[in-house]
Amino acid sequence: MNTTPLIQISHLEKSFITKSSWIGQWRLRRGKIRRSKESVHALNGVNLTINQGETLCIVGETGCGKSTLARVLMGLTPATSGEIHYQDQRIDHLNDHKRMMFRRRMQMVFQNPYASLNPRMTVYQTLSEPIAFHNQQLNRAEINLQIEDLLESVGISPSSADRYPHEFSGGQRQRISLARALSVEPDFIVADEPLSALDVSVQAQVLNLMMDKQEERNLTYLFITHDLAVVEHFATRVAVMYLGRVCELASTKALFSSPKHPYTQALLSAIPRLDSNMTQPIRLIGEVPTQIEKPIGCVFQARCPYANQRCYETSPKMLRQTDGSSVACHAIEEGRLS
């Protein structure tokens, strides 16, 4: 395996200003008019490396920053601070023009195939646009040939290329989305919950297709999901996110056999399984808090059954464990929780 990681994300932060209008930000406070910016901290210092050829899954509840991470990584929204490196080049501060060559190497598959395909473009148009844009030396016949191959490889008959997205089922649409991502021959694909709008049997079809393509083209996936059963099946490594931070990063096997972080433990115990002798889920008190205030201490403190004074004051660092996984938790560091 290549030793230099494909993608390196360091100290990535992203906050969104909630009061969007400039005028609305001014407030009278203690006799003076001051500007007050209220922002939601979606990412609070994320560090991740993605290796060539692996599938890194990101799991976490709604609002933990999974999708924001994907969007910042793809350059769809600028980061507030931090760095993203692609192989050895920094890409987060590039302008649109310079970024173009990286867009070709990194593609994205979105959650909802009903919304991510342009309803007024035929499948042919949807696929020919990126191919023609990134390969301007190709003539029409060559493009047509590529599209035919592409459609066939995702299991859609090339004869239906002139149809519109609404004429396809959800699973077929998600395959077209994947074909669109593959059309520019990327190395790296970010898939943001690509299966959540699909049925179980169709999910299996799309997941199989993604695995086949990975084998064929040596793709690297960043796969965002909340379905832990899919993660267990598909991932090489798993990053568990909570409130804009990665709280556990481990190989799939290590994570599922011995989850360490209290949040991971609760998350895994909550998966509805088919075995009748399943254990009672660990109950977390309360819900994911809002991220208006920048969190002090551990992000999970409010719901953690093991929280102590130190958890309220300082934020834990990612520490490497004996089995190769990394966990950010004071309780584990102090040996209160093993």
Partner 1 sequence: MNLLTVNNLNVSFHIKGIELAALIDVSFTLNRGERIAIVGESGAGKSILGLSIVNLLDKPGYIKSGSVKLENKELSKMNTRQLQEIRGKRIAMIFQDPMMTLNPVLTIGAQLVEAIRSHTRISFKDARNIAIEKLHSVQIASPERRFDQYPHELSGGMRQRVIIASVLLLNPDIIIADEPTTALDVTIQAEIIQLLLDVCHDNSMALILISHDLGVVSRVAERTLVMYAGRIVEEAPTLELINDPQHPYTQGLLNALPQMSLPGQRLNQIQGNMPALNDRPSGCAFHPRCPYATQKCRSEQPNFIYNGISSVSCFLVEDMLEEENSEEDSLDIEYATFHDEGQL
Using CB under 8 A, which of 2, 3, 276, 279 touches partner 1? Answer: 276
In angstroms, give the least distance from the CB of 335 to partner 1: 26
Residue 171 engages partner 1 in binding (rule: CB under 8 A): yes
Applying CB under 8 A, the site for partner 1 has a residue count of 41
Closest approach, Cβ 115 to partner 1, in A, equals 16
Between residue 175 and residue 214, which ones bind partner 1 under the rule CB under 8 A? 199-205, 207-208, 211-212
Least Å from the CB of residue 247 to partner 1: 14
Phi first, then psi, for residue 165 (nearest 5°) are: -55, -35
Q: What count of Cα atoms within 13 Å lies in the side-chain half-sphere of residue 69?
A: 39
Q: What is the nearest approach in angstroms of partner 1 to the Cβ of residue 227?
A: 8
From 92-100, 119-127, 265-273, 314-322, span contacting partner 1 (CB under 8 A): 265-273
**One residue of 273, 294, 317, 320 binding partner 1 per CB under 8 A:** 273
Cβ(313)–Cβ(296) below 8 Å? yes
Considering the complex, what minimum distance in angstroms separates the CB of residue 260 from partner 1? 17
Which three-class secondary structure string do you get for the chain? CCCCCCEEEEEEEEEEECCCCCHHHEEEECCEEEECCCEEEEEEEEEEEECCCCEEEEECCCCCCHHHHHHHHCCCCCCCEEEEEECCEECCCCCHHHHHHHHHHEEEECCCHHHHCCCCCCHHHHHHHHHHHHCCCCCHHHHHHHHHHHHHHCCCCHHHHHCCHHHCCHHHHHHHHHHHHHCCCCCEEEEECCCCCCCHHHHHHHHHHHHHHHHHHCCEEEEECCCHHHHHHHCCEEEEEECCEEEEEEEHHHHHHCCCCHHHHHHHHCCCCCCCCCCCCCCCCCCCCCCCCCCCCCCCHHHCCCCCHHHHHCCCCCEECCCCCEECCHHHHCCCCC
Nearest to 59 by CA among 174, 178, 192: 192
Q: Which of 81, 116, 96 is nearest to 192 (CA)?
A: 116
From the number of C-beta atoms within 10 Å of its C-beta (0-12, 13-18, 19+), residue 264 rates as: buried
Nearer to partner 1, 12 or 267 (CB): 267
Of 132 and 282, nearer to partner 1 (C-beta) is 282
Residue (52 or 236) nearer to partner 1, CB: 236
Does residue 302 interact with partner 1 by CB under 8 A? no
270 binds partner 1 (CB under 8 A): yes
Nearer to partner 1, 29 or 273 (CB): 273
* Residue of 142, 149, 167, 287 that binds partner 1 (CB under 8 A): 287
Q: Provide, rounded to whole angstroms, the least separation between the CB of residue 93 and partner 1.
A: 34
Stretch that binds partner 1, among 94-102, 124-132, 280-288, 329-337 (CB under 8 A): 280-288
- 230, 239, 311, 327: residue in contact with partner 1 (rule CB under 8 A): 230
The verdict on 267 binding partner 1 (CB under 8 A) reads yes
Cβ contact 40:21 at 8 Å: no
The answer to whether residue 232 forms part of the interface with partner 1 (CB under 8 A) is yes
Q: Which of residues 244-263 bind partner 1 (CB under 8 A)?
A: 252-253
Binding mask 55-84 for partner 1 (x = CB under 8 A): ------xx----------------------
Minimum CB distance to partner 1, residue 234 (Å): 7
Residue 241, interface with partner 1 (CB under 8 A)? no
The residues that touch partner 1, with contacts defined as CB under 8 A, are 61-62, 169-172, 199-205, 207-208, 211-212, 226, 228-230, 232-234, 252-253, 266-267, 269-274, 276, 278, 281, 283-284, 287-288
